[in-house]
Every structure is written in structure tokens, then in C-alpha cells.
Chains A and B, each alone.
Chain A
Amino acid sequence: MTPQQVIFLIIAAVTLISAMFVVTDRNLFHAALAMMASFFGVAGMYVMLEAGFLAAAQLLVYIGAISILIIFAIMMTRRLMQSIESPFNSQSVGGLVAAIVSFVGLLALIIIGWPDANFQGAAEVSSNVLEGSVQQLGIALVSPDAYVVPFEVASVLLLAALVGSIFIAWPEKKES
């Protein structure tokens, strides 16, 4: 077993076990923390795939922003759900069927593709392709024949999201 495979197994185990805790833990706050751990595992996966910038973006945005918002949402509504509810609901049979079908489908794909699989794929990308990849992304984001229009549209979208979220979340004026 190469060291890369061992590290991949460790990262995958972290991701999957935390994801399982997210779904089955009765304490909602522990589930949110386990979700942060699984995002950390996904960032590790991105590193294994030689996408370092994507791993950093995942850490910044998912763990740093989205998980914090989820934790705030839990804290704000926790008083409404004082009772710790069971993680299972009335649709667990349908969910079980869907899970088994997707598992069998993915397993079939893996078994069919196994003889032709090339497991050294990630290592074959030559290093001079990856060398300036962050710089190439930066240039592509602002060059007129690449992605500059979606880039500016993204800034307008972020502005709309900022104004809208402050407007919605702003507490109403109390007469005091």
C-alpha cells in the first residue's frame, strides 16, 4: 500500500464517519460540529486531487461561513425545539429503498469499470500543467474572452444577497 492510499483511506474514513454522525446524532449541535469535520475531510480529498486552491476555498467558505451560519440558525431556533427528536421519521422505509438502490447502482458501476480502471490517473498530470494553475484561474476570471462577465455578475449577485439578507434579518424597530 502506497502512503497515498493510506492517507486517502484515513481522509475518507474521517469524512464518512463524520457524515454518519451528522445524520444520526440526536444532539443537533453535535451534528453541526460533525458536519464541519466532514467538510474538513472533503478539503483533504481536494488536496489529494492536487486542487489546493479548491481545498482552501472549501475551508474558507464551507467551514468558515456556512457552518457558522448553520450553528447560528440552530442556536436561534433551539428554544422552539426543546425536545430532542428522534432522527428517524415516517419515511424511513422509502429512504431505505432509495439508499439501497443507489448503493447497488454505484457498486455496479464500480464493478463494471474495475478491469479498465487506471488508478494512477491523478499522478499522471504533469507538474507544469498544475504549476501556475491558481494564476491561470486568476487570469481567466478577468480576461474578456474567458469569465469576466460571470465574474462581474457574481459581484452583483453578492451585493443583492448582502442587501437582501440584512433587510430580512434586521430586527424590527421596538417602541422604547
Chain B
Amino acid sequence: MLSDWQFIGIFVAMAAIFPGVPLIASRFIGPRKPNPIKQATYECGIETVGDTWIQFKVQYYIFALVFVIFDIEAVFLFPIAAAFDQLALFAVFEVVLFVVILAVGLGYAWRKGALEWF
């Protein structure tokens, strides 16, 4: 059973090595001759425009909050989906009730404007 995961293990190891080796190798092999123009910050390849510290948009935070709730709902739905062909009709009604209760929450977020991006 554990051997089913060996490909994911190889994948994770490659995902760690692939970007890591060039970064580490260039730190050791590459020449370092800093000067002020090379060290200056840049934005899309040219000089920066505007302030560095901007006002944080609260829509990002509200999106993340709504995402947390529905992420946990998805975690609940995954094992139910795996067992769906063995469930009784009553159990299906319970799953529908679960989804409907959270759909009411989605409706509240929608009407409140939490899903808009202005």
C-alpha cells in the first residue's frame, strides 16, 4: 500500500531538486560584483512607479475567508463522494442537506457582495 506512493515521493523529490540545484549552484559558481545600479529594485524591468507600501485591499482577505469555509466543505465531501455508490437514499438526502445549508451561506456571501471584485 505504501508503495503506491513511491511515484509521488519521486515527484516531490524532483520538485525540490529541480529548482533548488540551479539556485544553489549559481550562488556558488556565479561571480558576485554588486554595484548600486545592479542592486536597485525594479518593476517589470524598468524603474518603479508609485509608492512601495500600498493600501491592502480587503477583498483579498474576504476571498480567503470564503475559500477556507468551502475548502473544509470540500474535505467533507471527498470521502462521501468516494462512497457514493454504497449509500442509502436517506444518506443521499443528508448529503444534500449539508450542501444546501452551505449553499445558503454562499447565497448570503453573494448578496452581501463578498464575491465581487471592485
A contact set with B: CB distance below 8 Å? 4, 7, 44, 47-48, 50, 52-53, 56-57, 60-61, 64-66, 68-69, 72, 75-76, 79, 127, 130, 134-139, 141-144, 148, 151-152, 154-156, 158-159, 161-163, 165-166, 169-171
Establish whether residues A166 and B94, one from each chain, have CB atoms under 8 Å apart when the complex forms: no
Establish whether residues A155 and B83, one from each chain, have CB atoms under 8 Å apart when the complex forms: no
Q: Smallest distance from the beta carbon of B65 to chain A beta carbons, Å? A: 5
B62 touches A (CB below 8 Å): yes
Chain B interface residue bracket vs A = 35 or more
B44 touches A (CB below 8 Å): no
Q: Which residues of A contact B12 (CB under 8 A)?
A: 44
Q: Which residues of B contact A135 (CB under 8 A)?
A: 79, 82-83, 86
Establish whether residues A166 and B114, one from each chain, have CB atoms under 8 Å apart when the complex forms: yes
Q: Which A residue sits closest to B104, measured CB to CB?
A: A159
B contact set with A: CB distance below 8 Å? 1-2, 5, 8-9, 12, 53, 56, 58, 60-62, 64-69, 71-76, 78-84, 86-88, 90-91, 94-95, 97-98, 101-102, 104-105, 108-109, 112, 114
Contact of A69 among B8, B65, B75, B95 (CB under 8 A): B65
Contact of B1 among A130, A139, A161, A162 (CB under 8 A): A130
Q: Which A residue sits closest to B90, measured CB to CB?
A: A144
Roughly how many angstroms separate A50 CA and B1 CA in the complex, as a whole number? 7
Roughly how many angstroms separate A165 CA and B109 CA in the complex, as a whole number? 10
Roughly how many angstroms separate A60 CA and B69 CA in the complex, as a whole number? 12
Q: Which residues of B contact A4 (CB under 8 A)?
A: 2
Q: Which residues of A contact B79 (CB under 8 A)?
A: 53, 134-135, 137-138, 141
Q: Which residues of B contact A151 (CB under 8 A)?
A: 76, 94, 98
What are 9 A-B residue pairs whose CB atoms fall within 8 Å in the complex? A44-B12, A50-B1, A76-B61, A79-B53, A151-B94, A154-B76, A155-B97, A158-B102, A166-B114
Roughly how many angstroms separate A139 CA and B1 CA in the complex, as a whole number? 22
Main secondary structure of the interface of A (DSSP, over half): helix
Q: Smallest distance from the beta carbon of B102 to chain A beta carbons, Å? A: 6
Q: Which residues of B contact A127 (CB under 8 A)?
A: 1
Q: Which A residue sits closest to B73, measured CB to CB?
A: A158
Establish whether residues A134 and B82, one from each chain, have CB atoms under 8 Å apart when the complex forms: yes
Q: Smallest distance from the beta carbon of B21 to chain A beta carbons, Å? A: 17
Q: Which A residue sits closest to B86, measured CB to CB?
A: A139
Roughly how many angstroms separate A136 CA and B83 CA in the complex, as a whole number? 7
Roughly how many angstroms separate A7 CA and B3 CA in the complex, as a whole number? 12
Q: Which residues of A contact B98 (CB under 8 A)?
A: 151-152, 155
Q: Which A residue sits closest to B75, measured CB to CB?
A: A57
Q: Smallest distance from the beta carbon of A23 to chain B beta carbons, Å? A: 22
Roughly how many angstroms separate A44 CA and B68 CA in the complex, as a whole number? 22
